[in-house]
C-alpha cells in the first residue's frame, strides 16, 4: 500500500476543511494503532470537547463558507482561465460545502469541463461532483453524456470504469436513453476487462431499475446468463444481481440461470474455506455471492429437473449442517457471514415450500436461534419464523416454540425484538392456541410501547374475531382492549364489534349485559361509551327485565357520561335515546325532557341541534307503529372482508416509497377471497358509523335523505322504488359507481352477493365475477348469462365459461370474463342470474360495468401540446359538451381521483384557470386508437359543472361525456 | 392445489449514511432518486432514531417500509437502508467490509480521514458497491483499483507542481 499523502493532493482543500473543522488535523493523525476502535475513540474524545462552543462555531462555519463561496465564484468568473488543477480543487471544495448541508447553485459547468480532462484525478473529481449533485438541467446532461460517451469509447479501462460508475450513480432516464443500448455490448464483449464487466453489469441493472422499457432484451441476455460460469468471482457476483432482477421480469428468458446458479452454489458451499482465496470472508466461502445466488433461485419454483433439484437440496442440507458445526472463528464476522447464508437458504426453503424435511429442519434451526445470546439472531429468527408459520408443513413445528416467543415478549429489552415476537405470535395463532395468545397479547398491551400499541390492538381484534368459537369471549376481549388501550382502538375495531353483535343473535344479550357492567366504571373510555351506547340502543331491551338494569337505569347510566363526551359520541348517544323511546315507552317522557333542554335544542353544534330537534319531533308526532318501523333493530351487515384486517394490511403494507396505485392494487388483491377492497374510500359502504339512522353521514347533509344505505328513514319517508324493472333496483347506481373503479360489490340482496374484480390493458380486459351464496342452503341450477344486444356484440367481444350449477351454502364461485373492445360502444352488457333456492326460482339482472372508458390509456402532455391538439379537434362533431348540476359535494381531490379513475391522465398546470381539470388519454379498440381530451370546469357558486370532451370520433365524445357526467 | 410461490423481488440497498455520535453527517450515498429535501428529512429522522438506541440493542430496525441495518465503530455510525426482502446479516458485513477497506487504505482509519479525504471514501465505496449492489468483495481487488488511481494521480501531479512553482506554465 503506498503511503497516502493525506490532503497533499489539494492543499487548499485541506486547509479549508481544517478551517471548517476548526482544529489542526495534523496532530490527530499520528496514531499508528491497529485497532479501529481505539483510534476512533480517540477522535471521539476530541470531538466531544468541541461541542461546547457549538452555536458559535456554526456561525463561524457559515461565515467561512460564504467567504469561500465568494472566492470560488470570483475565480470561476475571473478573466484568467483556470487550469485543471485549480478547477479540480474548487469543484472539490464546492462538493465539500454541499456535503456539509449547504446549497450549491454553481460550479456544475466547471465540473462538466473536468470530465473531458485527460488527467485521471481531474476527471474523477468531475464525475464525483456530477454523481453527488445530479441536476436534471438538460443542457448539462447533454454535455455530461457526451463526456461519458467519449470515455466509454476510449478503451481505457479506468476511464470506462469512471464513466460506468457515473451512469450507475445518476441512473437518470436521459442516461438510459443514451447508453442502455451500448452497455450490454460492453458487458458481453470478449475483450472487456473483468472490472469493467462488473461495473457494466451493475450499471445496466441500475438503468433497468429506472427505465426497464429502455433496456432492450436481445442476444446478449443468453450470454449474460453464462457469466454465472465466469472464472472471476467478482464478475459472477456483479452479474448475479443483474440476472436476478432481469429474471423477475422475464422468467422464461432467464430460465437456464437456475441450473447454472445451482451448480455455482454447490461448488461454493462444498469448497474448503481457503479455496476461494480473497473471496473467503472470515472462513466463509463467498458469502455475498452465495446470498445472491440463493436470492436468484427465489425467482423460480423448485427446479423441475430431478438432478438439479437433488443438487440444490444437497446444497441446502450442507448449509443447514454447517450451522451445527463448531465455529471456525470466534469473530462475529464469521458467524454473521455464515448465518447470512443460512437465513437466505431458509428463505429459499420457505419460498419453495415443498420439502417438509427441510422446512422442519429450518424451523428447528430457528428455534435454536430464538434462545441465542446474540440479539441480532433472536430478532432474525423471530422474523424468519413468521413466514415459516404460514407453511402447512411447518406450522405445527413453529407452534412448539410458543412459550419461548411469549417469554421473548416479556423479557426482550429491545422494542424492535418484542415487535417481532408480537408478529410471530400473530402468525402462529390458530384455533388451538388463540385463547392463550390473545391473553398474552392483552397482558403485554398493558405495558407495551406506545409505538406498537395500535398494531397490537388490531392484531388482537382480528385474532379474537377469527378464532372465536364462543362469541362471548370475543366481546370480552374487545371490551378489554378498550379498557386497556382505549386510545388505540380505532373506529374500525369498534365498528366491527358492533357489526358482529348485530349479526349474531346468540351474543346480543350477553353483549348488552357486559357493556352495561363495563359502563359502571366511574372513568371509562369514550370508545366504550360509543360501543355501549350503540349496543344498548339496539339490545338494551334484552336486559331490561332485570331491575338492576331497568330502562331508566340504563338511560341514566349513559346520560351520566354524555357531557364528558365529544360531539360525535354525543350525537351517537342522542340516537340511542330515540331508540330507547321506541324500546321503552316508560322513559319516553324523560328522554323528551332531555331533548327539549336548551343544551340540546340550542346546542351550538349544528349536528347535535338537528338531531335533538328531529328526534324530539319524531317522538312527538309519530305513532307507535311508525316509531317501531323507523327505529327497528338494525338489519344484519353484509359479510365482507374485515375492515380491521384491511387496516392492518394498510398499516403494514407498502406506503411511502412504492407508488400509491401499486399499494392500492395490492391491498385490494384480497386475502380472504373477498371481492371487496378495503372500504376506506367507498362512501357507500355500510358501516355502523356514529349515526344510527344515517342522518349524519359525512359530510353532514342538512336536508333531504342521506346517502347512507343503512338509513331506514329513507325508506319510510321517501317514495320507495316500486316499479321493479328487469334490472334489479339500484343496478343503475351500482353501475355508475364502477365507471371510475374496477373492484367492489356490484349487487347484493338477502341471498346473493356479486363482487367484481377487473383489469384492463389497452383494448383487452379481464373481469372476475364472484358469486357468493349468503345463505346456508345450496343454490341449484345456478346459471349466470351475459346478454348483449346485436349492436353491442359486434363492438364488444365477451368470452366466458359456464360455472358449476350448484353453489353450496356460504360458498363463493368465480367466473372469468375475457373482454375485447373491438370498436367503440355505448351500451353495457346485462348479467342475468337464474337459480333455485329452497324451491323458489330466483331471477336477477344487473348491468355489467364494462364501459368504453375502461380501454383508456392515460397520456401525459405539456400545456402547449394539449392546447394545440385541443384546437385541432375543434369541429362541431368532435366536441360534446354537457352542463350539469353537481350531485356530490364539489371536492377538488375527489374530482381528481375520479378523473384518474376514469382512465385519463390528469394534466396539472395545463389549464390557465387552476380550478379547472384537464385530462388526456387514448381509447384503444382492436382496430383504432382514439385520442381524447377532456376539460371539466366547476362553478362552485352555481354548484354546476361544464364538461367538454373532444375526440376524433363523435360517438366516443358523446359516450365518454355521458359516462363522466354521472360521476360528479 | 396450492398456489405457485410468487417470485420474491430482488432489492438493492437504498442508501448508506455515515454519521458521528453528535449527529454530524460524514458521508451519504443514495442509490434511489430522491429530492434534496427528502434526503435531508430522511437523514434527520434516521440519525435521531439510531442515536436514541441503546448500545446492546439489535442492529436492525423497521423504519417506514424499509429495514435499517446499522453498526457503530467508535465515534461513527454506519447505517444502511435495505428493502423488506433483503438480508440483514450480509448487509451488516457489507458495512464491516467497507470499514476494513477504509482501514487498510488509510492505515487505521478514523473519522477525520473520512472528513478530510471524503472523495477517497467515495471512490472506495464505488469500487465496492455500485448502484446499491455488491460489485467486488475481494479486498485486494478493490484496493488495487484505488491504488492504480493514486499512482495515476502522482504521475500527473508531481511534475506539475514543480513547474507551477517556478512559473513555467
Say if CB A236 and CB A264 are below 8 A apart: yes
Decide if B5 and A353 are in contact by the 8 Å CB cutoff: yes
- Confidence category of residue A908, pLDDT binned at 50, 70, 90: confident
Q: How many CB atoms lie within 10 A of CB A843?
A: 10
What percent of chain A clears pLDDT 70, i.e. is strictly above it?
Answer: 86
Closest chain B C-alpha to A606 CA, distance in angstroms: 40
Average pLDDT of A200-215? 92
Mapping DSSP onto H, E and C, the string for A855-916 reads HEEECCCCHHHHHHHHHHCCCCCCEEEEEEECCCCCCHHHHHHHHHHHCCEEECCCCCCCCC
Decide if B108 and A33 are in contact by the 8 Å CB cutoff: yes
Q: Kindly report the backbone phi and psi dihedral angles of residue A921, in degrees, each rounded to the nearest multiple of 5, phi listed first.
A: -170, 180
> What distance in Å separates the CA atoms of residue A529 and residue A516, rounded to the nearest whole number?
10
- Confidence category of residue A335, pLDDT binned at 50, 70, 90: very high
Mapping DSSP onto H, E and C, the string for A257-305 reads HHHHHHHHHHHHHCCCCCCCHHHEECCEECHHHHHHHHHHHCCCCCCCC
What percent of chain A clears pLDDT 90, i.e. is strictly above it?
Answer: 42
Helices A54-77 and A11-21: crossing angle, nearest 10°?
150
User: What was the pLDDT predicted at A313?
Assistant: 96
* Residues of B whose CB is below 8 A from A1: 104-105, 107, 143, 147
A450 is in an annotated binding site: no
- Confidence category of residue A729, pLDDT binned at 50, 70, 90: confident
* Residues of A whose CB is below 8 A from B56: 375, 413-414
Smallest Cβ–Cβ distance between B110 and the set A18, A39, A247 belongs to: A39
SS3 content of chain B, % helix, strand, coil (to 5): 45, 20, 35
Q: How many CB atoms lie within 10 A of CB A916?
A: 13
Interface predicted TM-score (ipTM) of this complex, two decimals: 0.90
Closest chain A C-alpha to B153 CA, distance in angstroms: 6
Decide if B147 and A1 are in contact by the 8 Å CB cutoff: yes
> What distance in Å separates the CA atoms of residue A164 and residue A202, rounded to the nearest whole number?
9
Over 60: is that where the pLDDT of A52 sits?
Answer: no
Smallest Cβ–Cβ distance between A655 and the set B65, B126, B136 belongs to: B65
Write out the three cell numbers for A451.
409505538
Decide if B90 and A128 are in contact by the 8 Å CB cutoff: no
Over 70: is that where the pLDDT of A260 sits?
Answer: yes
Over 70: is that where the pLDDT of B101 sits?
Answer: yes
**CA-based nearest residue in chain B for residue A655:** B65
Compute, in degrees rounded to 10, the torsion defined by CA atoms A935, A940, A942, A948.
0
Over 50: is that where the pLDDT of A240 sits?
Answer: yes
* Residues of A whose CB is below 8 A from B115: 17, 21
Local structure of A66: helix, strand or coil: helix
User: What was the pLDDT predicted at A710?
Assistant: 33
Q: Model's pTM, two decimal places?
A: 0.66
- All structural domains of chain B: 13-166 (3.30.450.60)
Over 70: is that where the pLDDT of A782 sits?
Answer: yes
**CA-based nearest residue in chain B for residue A40:** B74
Residue B49 contacts A, CB cutoff 8 Å: no
Going by C-beta distance under 8 Å and a sequence separation of 6 or more, which residues neighbour residue A141?
A172, A174, A175
Decide if B137 and A234 are in contact by the 8 Å CB cutoff: yes
Decide if B93 and A287 are in contact by the 8 Å CB cutoff: yes
User: What was the pLDDT predicted at A324?
Assistant: 93
User: What was the pLDDT predicted at B155?
Assistant: 62
Residue B48 contacts A, CB cutoff 8 Å: no
**Chain Cα centroid distance, residue A104:** 35
Over 60: is that where the pLDDT of A204 sits?
Answer: yes
Average pLDDT of B45-66? 92
User: What was the pLDDT predicted at A136?
Assistant: 57
* Residues of B whose CB is below 8 A from A18: 116
pLDDT digits (tens, 9 = 90+) for A449-496: 888 888 899 999 999 988 888 889 999 999 899 988 888 888 888 888
Q: Kindly report the backbone phi and psi dihedral angles of residue A72, in degrees, each rounded to the nearest multiple of 5, phi listed first.
A: -65, -40
Average pLDDT of A338-342? 97
Residue of higher predicted confidence among A403 and A679: A403
pLDDT digits (tens, 9 = 90+) for B21-39: 999 999 999 998 888 889 9
Closest chain B C-alpha to A39 CA, distance in angstroms: 6
Amino acid at each position: 500500500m503506498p503511503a497516502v499523502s493525506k490532503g497533499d493532493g489539494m492543499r487548499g482543500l485541506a486547509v479549508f476543511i481544517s478551517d471548517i473543522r476548526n482544529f489542526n488535523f495534523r496532530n490527530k493523525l499520528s496514531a499508528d494503532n491497529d485497532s479501529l476502535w481505539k483510534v476512533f475513540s480517540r477522535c471521539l474524545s476530541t470531538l466531544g470537547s468541541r461541542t461546547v462552543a457549538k452555536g458559535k462555531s456554526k456561525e463561524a462555519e457559515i461565515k467561512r463558507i460564504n467567504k469561500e463561496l465568494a472566492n470560488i465564484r470570483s475565480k470561476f468568473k475571473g478573466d484568467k482561465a483556470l487550469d485543471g488543477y485549480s478547477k479540480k480543487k474548487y469543484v472539490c471544495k464546492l462538493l465539500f460545502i454541499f456535503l456539509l448541508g449547504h446549497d450549491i447553485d454553481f460550479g456544475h459547468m466547471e465540473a462538466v469541463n473536468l470530465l473531458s480532462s485527460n488527467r485521471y484525478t481531474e476527471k474523477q473529481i468531475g464525475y464525483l461532483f456530477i454523481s453527488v449533485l445530479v441536476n436534471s438541467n438538460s443542457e448539462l446532461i447533454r454535455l455530461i453524456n457526451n463526456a461519458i460517451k467519449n470515455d466509454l469509447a476510449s478503451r481505457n479501462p479506468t476511464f470506462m470504469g469512471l464513466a460506468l460508475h457515473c451512469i450507475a450513480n445518476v441512473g437518470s432516464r436521459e442516461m438510459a436513453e443514451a447508453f442502455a443500448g451500448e452497455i450490454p455490448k460492453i458487458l458481453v464483449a470478449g475483450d472487456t476487462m473483468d472490472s469493467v464487466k462488473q461495473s457494466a453489469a451493475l450499471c445496466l441493472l441500475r438503468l433497468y431499475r429506472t427505465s426497464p422499457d429502455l433496456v432492450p432484451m436481445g442476444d446478449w441476455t443468453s450470454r449474460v446468463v453464462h457469466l454465472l460460469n465466469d472464472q472471476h468471482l467478482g464478475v459472477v457476483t456483479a452479474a448475479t444481481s443483474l440476472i436476478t432482477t432481469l429474471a423477475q421480469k422475464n422468467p422464461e428468458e432467464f430460465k437456464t440461470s437456475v441450473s447454472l446458479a445451482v451448480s455455482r452454489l454447490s461448488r461454493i458451499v462444498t469448497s474448503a474455506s481457503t479455496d476461494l482465496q480473497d473471496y473467503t470472508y472470515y472462513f466463509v466461502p463467498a458469502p455475498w455471492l452465495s446470498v445472491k445466488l440463493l436470492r436468484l433461485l427465489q425467482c423460480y419454483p423448485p427446479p423441475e429437473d430431478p438432478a438439479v433439484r437433488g443438487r440444490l437440496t444437497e446444497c441446502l442440507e450442507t448449509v443447514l449442517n454447517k450451522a451445527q458445526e463448531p465455529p471456525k472463528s470466534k469473530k462475529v464476522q464469521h458467524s454473521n457471514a455464515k448465518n447470512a447464508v443460512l437465513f437466505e437458504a431458509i428463505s429459499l426453503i420457505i419460498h419453495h415450500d415443498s420439502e417438509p424435511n427441510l422446512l422442519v429442519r429450518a424451523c428447528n434451526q430457528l428455534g435454536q436461534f430464538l434462545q441465542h445470546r446474540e440479539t441480532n439472531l433472536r430478532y432474525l429468527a423471530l422474523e424468519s419464523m413468521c413466514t415459516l408459520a404460514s407453511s402447512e408443513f411447518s406450522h405445527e413445528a413453529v407452534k412448539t416454540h410458543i412459550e419461548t416467543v411469549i417469554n421473548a415478549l416479556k423479557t426482550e429489552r429491545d422494542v424492535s425484538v418484542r415487535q417481532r415476537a408480537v408478529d410471530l405470535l400473530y402468525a402462529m395463532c390458530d384455533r388451538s392456541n388463540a385463547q392463550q395468545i390473545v391473553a398474552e397479547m392483552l397482558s403485554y398491551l398493558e405495558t407495551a410501547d406506545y409505538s406498537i400499541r395500535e398494531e397490537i390492538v388490531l392484531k388482537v381484534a382480528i385474532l379474537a374475531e377469527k378464532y372465536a368459537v364462543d362469541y362471548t369471549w370475543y366481546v370480552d376481549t374487545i371490551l378489554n382492549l378498550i379498557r386497556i388501550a382505549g386510545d388505540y382502538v380505532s373506529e374500525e375495531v369498534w365498528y366491527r364489534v358492533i357489526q358482529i353483535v348485530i349479526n349474531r343473535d346468540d351474543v346480543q344479550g350477553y353483549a348488552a349485559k357486559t357493556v352495561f357492567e363495563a359502563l359502571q366504571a366511574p372513568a371509562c373510555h369514550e370508545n366504550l361509551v360509543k360501543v355501549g351506547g350503540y349496543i344498548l340502543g339496539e339490545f338494551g331491551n334484552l336486559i331490561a327485565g332485570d331491575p338492576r338494569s331497568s330502562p331508566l337505569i340504563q338511560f341514566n347510566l349513559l346520560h351520566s357520561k354524555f357531557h364528558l363526551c365529544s360531539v360525535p359520541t354525543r350525537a351517537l348517544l342522542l340516537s340511542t335515546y330515540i331508540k330507547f323511546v321506541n324500546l321503552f315507552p316508560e322513559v319516553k317522557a324523560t328522554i323528551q325532557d332531555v331533548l327539549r333542554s336548551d343544551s340540546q335544542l340550542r346546542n351550538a353544534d349544528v349536528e347535535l341541534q338537528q338531531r335533538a330537534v328531529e328526534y324530539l319531533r319524531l317522538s312527538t308526532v309519530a305513532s307507535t307503529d311508525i316509531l317501531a318501523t323507523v327505529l327497528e333493530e338494525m338489519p344484519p351487515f353484509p359479510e365482507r372482508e374485515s375492515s380491521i384486517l384491511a387496516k392492518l394490511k394498510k398499516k403494514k403494507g407498502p406506503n411511502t416509497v412504492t407508488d400509491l396505485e401499486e399499494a392500492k392494487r395490492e391491498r385490494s388483491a384480497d386475502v380472504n377471497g373477498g371481492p371487496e377492497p378495503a372500504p376506506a374510500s367507498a362512501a357507500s359502504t355500510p358501516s355502523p358509523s356514529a349515526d344510527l339512522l344515517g342522518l349524519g353521514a359525512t359530510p353532514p347533509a342538512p336536508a333531504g335523505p342521506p346517502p347512507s344505505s343503512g338509513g331506514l328513514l329513507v325508506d319510510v319517508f321517501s317514495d320507495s322504488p316500486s316499479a321493479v324493472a328487469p334490472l334489479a333496483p339500484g343496478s343503475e347506481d351500482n353501475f355508475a359507481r364502477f365507471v371510475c373503479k374496477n373492484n367492489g360489490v356490484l349487487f347484493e340482496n338477502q341471498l346473493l352477493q356479486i363482487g367484481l374484480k377487473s383489469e384492463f390493458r389497452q383494448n383487452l380486459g379481464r373481469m372476475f365475477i364472484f358469486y357468493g351464496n349468503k345463505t346456508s342452503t345450496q343454490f341449484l341450477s345456478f346459471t349466470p348469462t351475459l346478454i348483449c344486444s346485436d349492436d353491442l356484440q359486434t363492438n364488444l367481444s365477451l368470452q366466458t365459461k359456464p360455472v358449476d350449477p350448484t353453489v353450496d351454502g356460504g360458498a363463493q364461485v368465480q367466473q372469468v370474463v375475457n373482454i375485447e373492445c373491438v370498436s367503440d360502444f355505448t351500451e353495457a352488457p346485462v348479467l342475468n342470474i337464474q337459480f333455485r333456492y329452497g324451491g323458489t326460482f330466483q331471477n336477477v339482472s344487473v348491468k355489467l360495468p364494462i364501459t368504453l372508458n375502461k380501454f383508456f390509456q392515460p397520456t401525459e402532455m405539456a400545456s402547449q401540446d394539449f392546447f394545440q391538439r385541443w384546437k385541432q379537434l375543434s369541429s362541431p362533431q368532435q366536441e360534446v359538451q354537457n352542463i350539469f348540476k353537481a350531485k356530490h359535494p364539489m371536492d377538488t381531490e375527489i374530482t381528481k381521483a375520479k378523473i384518474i379513475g376514469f382512465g385519463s391522465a390528469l394534466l396539472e398546470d395545463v389549464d390557465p384557470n387552476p380550478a379547472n381539470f384537464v385530462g388526456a388519454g387514448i381509447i384503444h379498440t382492436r382496430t383504432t386508437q382514439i385520442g381524447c381530451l377532456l376539460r371539466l370546469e366547476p362553478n362552485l357558486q352555481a354548484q354546476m359543472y361544464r364538461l367538454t370532451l373532444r375526440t376524433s370520433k363523435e360517438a366516443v365524445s358523446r359516450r365518454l361525456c355521458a359516462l363522466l357526467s354521472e360521476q360528479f | 392445489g396450492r398456489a405457485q410461490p410468487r417470485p420474491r423481488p430482488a432489492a438493492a440497498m437504498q442508501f448508506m449514511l455515515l454519521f458521528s455520535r453528535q449527529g454530524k453527517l460524514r458521508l451519504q450515498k443514495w442509490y434511489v432518486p430522491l429530492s434534496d429535501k427528502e434526503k435531508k428529512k430522511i437523514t434527520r429522522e434516521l440519525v435521531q432514531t439510531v442515536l436514541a438506541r441503546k448500545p446492546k440493542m439489535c442492529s436492525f430496525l423497521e423504519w417506514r417500509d424499509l429495514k435499517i441495518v446499522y453498526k457503530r465503530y467508535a465515534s461513527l455510525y454506519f447505517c444502511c437502508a435495505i428493502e423488506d426482502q433483503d438480508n440483514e446479516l450480509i448487509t451488516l458485513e457489507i458495512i464491516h467490509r467497507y470499514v476494513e477497506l477504509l482501514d487498510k487504505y488509510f492505515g487505521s482509519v478514523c473519522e477525520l480521514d473520512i472528513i478530510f479525504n471524503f472523495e477517497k471514501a467515495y471512490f472506495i465505496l464505488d469500487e465496492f458497491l455500485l448502484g446499491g449492489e455488491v460489485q467486488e468483495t475481494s479486498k485486494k481487488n478493490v484496493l488495487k483499483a484505488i491504488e492504480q488511481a493514486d499512482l495515476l494521480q502522482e504521475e500527473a501531479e508531481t511534475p506539475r507542481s514543480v513547474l507551477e512553482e517556478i512559473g513555467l506554465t
